[in-house]
Amino acid sequence: MDTQLGNIICKKILVVCVGNICRSPVGAEILRRRLPRQNIYSAGLCALVGHSVHPSALQVASQYGIVIEHHYAQQVTRALCHQADLILVMETSHIPLLVNIAIEARGKIMLFGGWHKNKNIPDPIGYDEPIFNTMFHHLLEAADGWVRFFDK
C-alpha cells in the first residue's frame, strides 16, 4: 500500500539543500536505506553541479556504514520538483527559494526535520568534522520520524 500525505501518494521524494554535496545526498541515502519502496533523489538550490559528496560528509556517513557512491550534485529544477510527490528541505529559508523555482510545488514542500521537532538542519560547510557529525545525527533523527510516518 502506498503512503499518502494528504491527497498525495508519496512514491517519489526529492531531498533539497543548497549545494547538494552534504545534507541532501546524505539525507537521501539514509531515507533510501530505510524506505526502499520510495524513489528518493536529491538536488541543490545552488548546486555544485557535478561535484561528489563532501569528503567530511562521506567520512562521517561511512563511520555508520552508509556509503554514498556515484553521487554527483545536480541543480534543483522545476521538472525535478514536478516529478516529486514530496519535497524535503533542510531549512525553512529554503522554502521560498524553492517556491520561486516551482510555485506549484508549494503544497508538497516540508522540512526534512518536520517530524523531529520541526528542526532545521544547518549547513556544515566551512566547519570542522565534528559539525558534520552533528549534521549526520540530525539527519538520522529526522529520518526516523519519516520512517515512522511511512510505516503507518
Q: Is 32 a catalytic residue?
A: no
Q: Give me 71's grid cell.
A: 553521487
Catalytic residue among 10, 22, 23, 32: 23
Distances (CA, A) of 28 to 7, 87, 143, 151: 23, 11, 9, 17
Count of beta carbons in the 10 Å neighbourhood of residue 62: 11
Helix H, strand E, coil C: the string for 99-152 is: HHHCHHHHHHEEECECCCCCECCCCCCCCCHHHHHHHHHHHHHHHHHHHHHHCC
Among 10, 17, 22, 81, the one annotated catalytic:
17
Q: Which residues pair with 40 in a beta bridge?
A: 13
128 is catalytic: no
Q: Which residues contact 12 (CB under 8 A, 6 or more apart)?
A: 38, 39, 40, 41, 83, 84, 85, 86
Is 22 part of the annotated catalytic residue set? no
Q: Which residues are catalytic?
A: 17, 23, 123
